[in-house]
Amino acid sequence: MRQLAMQSRATALRQYMLLLVGQSKLENLSLEGADTPWVQ
């Protein structure tokens, strides 16, 4: 049960970070990001 909770948190954090990267305005830097909160 504890491992499932940790995996769930890690997935949520990864999705949140992808969303932040997708919304950022960085130049000369290429990061994989998402434009919407609907990420997998």
Position 4 in a domain: yes
**Separation CA 14–CA 9 (nearest Å):** 9
**Per-residue pLDDT reduced to its tens digit, 11-25:** 999 888 888 877 777
Position 37 in a domain: no
How would you write the chain as a 3-class SS string?
A: CHHHHHHHHHHHHHHHHHHHHHHCCCCCCCCCCCCCCCCC
pTM of structure: 0.56
Position 11 in a domain: yes
Q: Which domain holds residue 13?
A: 1-25
- Residue 33 in contact with residue 23, Cβ under 8 Å? yes
- Indicate the number of domains in the chain: 1
Report residue 1's pLDDT band, with 50, 70 and 90 as the boundaries.
confident
Position 33 in a domain: no
Position 18 in a domain: yes
